[in-house]
Amino acid sequence: MAESHPTPGKDPDASEVRRRVAELLAAYDPARVPREKFLRARFDAGLAWVHFPEGLGGLGAPRALQAVVDAELAAAGAPDNDPRRIGIGLGMAAPTILRYGTEEQKRRFLRPLWTGEEVWCQLFSEPGAGSDLAGLRTRAVREPDSGDWIVDGQKVWTSSAHLARWAILIARTDPDVPKHQGITYFLCDMTDPGVEVRPLRQITGEAEFNEVFLTGVRIPDAHRLGAIGDGWRVAQATLMNERVAIGGMALPREGGMIGPLAAAWRERPELRTPELHDRVLSAWVAAEVVRLSAERVRQQMAAGAPGPEGSGLKLAFARLNQHVSGLEVELMGEEGLRYGDWTMVRPESVDFYGRDAGYRYLRAKGNSIEGGTSEILRNIIAERVLGLPAEPRTDKDVAWKDLPR
């Protein structure tokens, strides 16, 4: 397909985006072209992330035009890139690589990430460094001869590690400085022989999370993201995007947890009581408030990178999901206590809403932990959004090696 470019000096508009979609469909009929080939062509046409730069899956266009692209391609029956399966790559790795990666890193990693040919995971949390992420112990030591980094440590709560080809990883590279200053950010090859992935069975019965052991894992310096010792700043970009990715998902009205509850209320009048009526109505209103707030945050993101406001959105998402899923179980009575399948499986994607009421109730318990605990998010909102005094931190200026274990 011949490349076409927007008019120089002018941002692409909806008509320009539709023209490029039409060109893509004319050259690559989705009914005849293999899925992978179509997705690659879509990326090369700048229709993967329209707000990304040209040559990196985008057009340098306003983010809002992505909805135009998605609608046109869906109407034509074009395949998508299975975003639930590659959500960590799309929502966390890609924006971080775009912001801090070298040109070589962007061109190497973004295309197979978006097409789903390479799944990503996130190696951040550790058994002793969850809420206090900056206290992590995983070490990366640089070899003087090769310049490579040798990584040893353990990570935990790693979604999709059993599927991942690559990981975003933070490790301690200098124990002699305060904990936030001695961290470096890497892109880790999950096929390295020193990487061991073990499943963590959850309360739902499945194992979407894993623990990952790193023993002598070799990472070339070319796979370092950002400057040595600047990993905390790079990781903050990842975490801000993660919170928006979790709490700011685009949903239609009655999308998410509120959908099954509203459907049961309408279709099962025998379950209704006057008291439950008020509670279901209140939950519906709360869900709509969170949905519209998420839309507003996505619109704000069109002007730049996500800020601490995303923490409020993710906090609201977790509280809403836990409240609504509990209300659904209560509404369903004995039927809500049934659990369809507790077989140990290792799913290919994270599913916040699927299966039955019992699954939704149990899975929602993790929403207030993953992507930053609700307690930590309240601190972020208090300090960075509301401007309240920070909590006392006695370890702020102490070298990591001198901190009590």
Contact 272, 332 (CB under 8 A): no
Helix, coil or strand: residue 364: helix
Give the pLDDT confidence score for residue 365 in this predicted structure: 92
| Same domain (yes/no): 272, 360 | yes
For residue 242, is it within any domain? yes
| Same domain (yes/no): 19, 62 | yes
| Same domain (yes/no): 190, 254 | no
Tokens standing for residue 313: 């959105």
| Same domain (yes/no): 222, 242 | no
**β strands within 63-179, DSSP E:** 120-123, 139-142, 149-155, 166-172
Tokens standing for residue 322: 């836990």
CA distance 241 to 248: 10
| Same domain (yes/no): 305, 339 | yes
Count how many domains the chain has: 3
Domain boundaries, position 371: 235-385
Determine how many CB atoms are found less than 10 A away from the CB of residue 9: 5
Given the structure tokens 């006392």, which residue do they identify? 392
Do strands 166-172 and 149-155 pair parallel, antiparallel, or not at all (unpaired)? unpaired
Which CATH number belongs to the domain containing residue 134 in this structure? 2.40.110.10
Which CATH number belongs to the domain containing residue 375 in this structure? 1.20.140.10
Q: Is 271 exposed, middle or buried (0-12, 13-18, 19+ CB in 10 A)?
A: middle
- Residues with catalytic function: 242
What pTM value is reported for the model?
Answer: 0.88
Give the pLDDT confidence score for residue 9 in this predicted structure: 46
| Same domain (yes/no): 269, 205 | no
Type and span of the H or E element at 198:
strand 195-200
CA distance 382 to 329: 33
Along the chain (405 residues), what's the average pLDDT of each consecutive run of 10 residues?
46 89 97 97 97 96 91 96 94 95 98 98 91 92 97 95 97 97 98 97 91 98 98 93 71 90 92 90 95 80 65 89 95 86 84 83 90 86 88 85 85
For residue 2, is it within any domain? no
Close Cβ partners of 200 (under 8 Å, ≥ 6 residues apart): 156, 157, 207, 209, 210, 211
Give the pLDDT confidence score for residue 247 in this predicted structure: 62
Give the pLDDT confidence score for residue 8 in this predicted structure: 46
> Around 183, how many Cα atoms within 13 Å sit in the side-chain half-sphere?
22
